């Protein structure tokens, strides 16, 4: 333990973000970095608990408690405090293939279950994790490490998001020849096109992809498995197949006016914007733009926040975000005890930017959209809402009840649906005859990842449903381990 009294002496400190009104003028990452001395101080706040909950990686009340990939957090906190950064990186890489991603985009369930967080602000774990990874690249410690020998086995990984990349990295490490198929024009899945550049710079994603390629992973883009190339052909060509295609069917809002122009799924909006940023820095006009428009985002979570942040950078005319649930409380409630994930109010980066420009948090709570109305050209011009309250029935189930007289019309030139995802697309699973679970996901036992088809595995959101990047990495690593066991009869993968 680096500093036995550090948690008493030092206060939590996070890197400053660039001012909201400055950062909405560009697409660069909005967060800055702490100095090495301040990082040492923050690492010194770690209590080196006898029973550390930060890396338990369990589900409590349906939410992650502790790190799902079981990062050895107290160990690398201690090493950072002692200035042993390279050793800290080695500890970090034992459990996490891509700490430069999770250090930026993970909501940090580790911090929600930090023991210090019971009485004080938790240790700045996520900040330290990112700093370790970034220093590893800056110092040249992270280099290609191709396997010393090949097994002669070939594996196809379908999907290049965090689950697919983690799976490919581990299988390649075991000596198998891995080919990753991606239907988009760039590798990375949601890391590339689902998360905006200001939150995760795409050069950082490409840097890791290039590293994997130099280690021997083969990437095939612009190939839509199930359409351009039959999924069954993969079973004939490869010794095993791992499906990491994500849960990409967005939840729709089938109300009057849904077919009007200007109503889009959030993923359409985010994908198109990142692609045009990377292709031509918005020099063409084919992107879905929020410039000078009244924008409404329906739904919350990270996707909703990313839509808000993107619309702000387009210089929208106004912005509102609707959530059907009540506003979270300012502090933990008795029914949300530690070490559960804290369900508390938070002003994320997008809402902070909207508040700086328009004067307040753009979110409206306990509100339901009932209808879109359009102009004579078939384009959305407004939407109509009603406020709701949640009523509990005799069976204990809650449902929204409309409040009479709370109807309202909102101007809207662009509506973005960010209400989550329903599950994986059907084509690949149908072609391979993979069984589904009750939520339409690929059916594969957790920890085993094997589907009902021999040699076909499933991992990530495609197996568990929409979830966090860190869960996807956990699942990709686990599927690689079980795939290796299937191919070789035994495995040394963690």
CA 395 to centroid of chain Cα atoms: 34
Distant-in-sequence, close-in-space partners of 125: CB < 8 Å, separation ≥ 6: 54, 73, 77, 108, 110, 111, 114
Cα 392 to the center of its chain, rounded Å: 32
* Residue 101 · residue 211 · CB < 8 Å: no
What pLDDT is recorded for position 1?
A: 65
**pLDDT tens per residue across span 363-375:** 999 999 999 999 9
For residues 442 and 243, the answer to whether their CB atoms sit within 8 Å is yes
Q: What is the pLDDT of residue 396?
A: 87
Report d(CA 470, CA 478) in Å as an integer. Answer: 12
Q: Report the alpha-carbon distance of residue 433 to residue 38 in Å, rounded.
A: 54
Q: How far is CA 166 from the centre of its chain?
A: 14
Average pLDDT, the chain: 96
Q: What is the pTM of this model?
A: 0.96
- Main-chain phi, psi angles of 157, to 5 degrees: -110, 120
Residue 289 has pLDDT above 70, yes or no: yes
How far does CA 329 lie from the centroid of its chain? Answer: 24
CB atoms closer than 10 angstroms to residue 181: 26
Nearest to 480, CA basis, from 153, 39, 205, 140: 153
Report whether 29 contacts 199 (CB < 8 A): yes
Residues in contact with 356: Cβ distance below 8 Å, sequence separation at least 6, in sequence order = 19, 20, 21
SS3 of residue 406 by DSSP: coil
How far, in Å, CA of 390 to CA of 394, rounded? 13
What pLDDT score does 264 carry?
A: 98
Is the model's pLDDT at 285 over the cut of 80? no
Looking at per-residue pLDDT, the higher value among 51 and 334 belongs to 334
pLDDT score of 50? 83
Q: Is beta strand 154-158 parallel, antiparallel or unpaired with respect to 63-65?
A: unpaired
Q: What is the distance between the alpha carbons of residues 196 and 322, in angstroms, rounded to a whole number?
A: 21
**Domains in the chain, ordered, with CATH?**
6-138 (1.10.1060.10), 154-248+422-488 (3.50.50.60), 252-419 (3.50.50.60)
As a whole number of Å, the CA-based R_g of the chain is 23
Q: Do the beta carbons of residue 431 and residue 230 sit within 8 Å?
A: yes
What tens digit of pLDDT does each residue of 317-337 get?
999 999 999 999 999 999 999
**Distance of alpha carbon 169 from alpha carbon 477, whole angstroms:** 8
Sign of CA dihedral 353, 354, 360, 366: negative
Q: Identify which of 155, 210, 172, 156 has the alpha carbon closest to the alpha carbon of residue 188.
A: 210
How far is residue 264 from each of residues 282, 297, 485, measured CA to CA in Å? 19, 10, 43
- What token pair was written down for 364? 């409206």
Give the separation between CA 426 and CA 436, rounded to whole angstroms.
Answer: 10
Identify the pLDDT of residue 394: 87
Give the DSSP H/E element, type plus range, for residue 64: strand 63-65
User: Is the confidence at residue 286, as pLDDT, over 80?
Assistant: no
Total residue count of the chain as it appears in this document: 494
Quick one: pLDDT band at residue 287, thresholds 50, 70, 90?
A: confident
């Amino acid at each position: 333990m680096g500093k036995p009294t550090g948690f008493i002496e030092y206060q939590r400190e996070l890197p400053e973000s660039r001012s909201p009104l400055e950062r909405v003028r560009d697409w660069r990452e909005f967060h800055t970095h702490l100095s090495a001395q301040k990082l040492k101080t923050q690492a010194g706040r770690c209590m080196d608990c006898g029973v550390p909950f930060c890396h338990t990686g369990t589900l409590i009340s349906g939410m992650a408690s502790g790190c799902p990939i079981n990062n050895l957090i107290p160990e690398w906190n201690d090493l950072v405090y002692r200035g042993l950064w390279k050793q800290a990186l080695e500890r970090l890489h034992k459990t996490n293939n891509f700490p430069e991603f999770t250090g930026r985009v993970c909501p940090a369930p580790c911090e929600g279950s930090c023991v210090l967080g019971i009485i004080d602000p938790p240790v700045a774990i996520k900040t330290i994790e990112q700093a370790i990874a970034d220093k590893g690249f800056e110092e040249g410690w992270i280099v290609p490490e191709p396997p010393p020998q090949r097994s002669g086995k070939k594996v196809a990984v379908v999907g290049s998001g965090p689950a697919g990349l983690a799976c490919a990295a581990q299988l390649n490490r075991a000596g198998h020849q891995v080919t990753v198929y991606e239907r988009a024009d760039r590798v990375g899945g949601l890391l590339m096109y689902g998360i905006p550049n200001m939150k995760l710079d795409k050069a950082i994603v490409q840097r890791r992809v290039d590293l994997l390629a130099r280690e021997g992973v083969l990437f095939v883009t612009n190939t839509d498995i199930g359409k351009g190339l039959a999924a069954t052909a993969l079973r004939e060509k490869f010794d095993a197949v791992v499906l990491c295609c994500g849960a990409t069917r967005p939840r729709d809002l089938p109300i009057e006016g849904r077919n009007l122009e200007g109503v889009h799924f959030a993923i359409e909006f985010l994908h198109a914007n990142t692609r045009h940023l990377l292709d031509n820095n918005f020099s063409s006009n084919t992107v879905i733009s929020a410039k000078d428009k009244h924008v409404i985002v329906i739904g919350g979570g990270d996707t909703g926040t990313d839509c808000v942040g993107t619309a702000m950078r387009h210089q929208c005319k106004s912005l509102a975000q609707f959530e059907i649930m009540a506003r979270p409380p300012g502090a933990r409630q008795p029914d949300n005890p530690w070490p559960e994930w804290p369900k508390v109010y938070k002003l994320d980066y997008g809402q902070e930017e909207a508040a700086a420009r328009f004067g307040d948090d753009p979110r409206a709570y306990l509100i339901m959209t009932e209808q879109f109305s359009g102009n004579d050209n078939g384009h959305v011009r407004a939407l109509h809402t009603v406020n709701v309250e949640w009523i509990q029935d005799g069976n204990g189930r809650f449902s929204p009840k409309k409040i009479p007289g709370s109807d309202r019309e909102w101007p809207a030139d662009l509506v973005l649906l960010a209400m989550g995802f329903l599950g994986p697309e059907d084509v690949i699973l149908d072609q391979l005859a993979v069984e589904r679970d009750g939520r339409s996901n690929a059916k594969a036992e957790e920890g085993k990842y094997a589907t009902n088809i021999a040699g076909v595995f499933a991992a990530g959101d495609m197996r568990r449903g929409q979830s966090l990047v860190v869960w996807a990495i956990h699942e990709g690593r686990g599927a690689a381990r079980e795939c290796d066991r299937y191919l070789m009869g035994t495995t040394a993968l963690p």
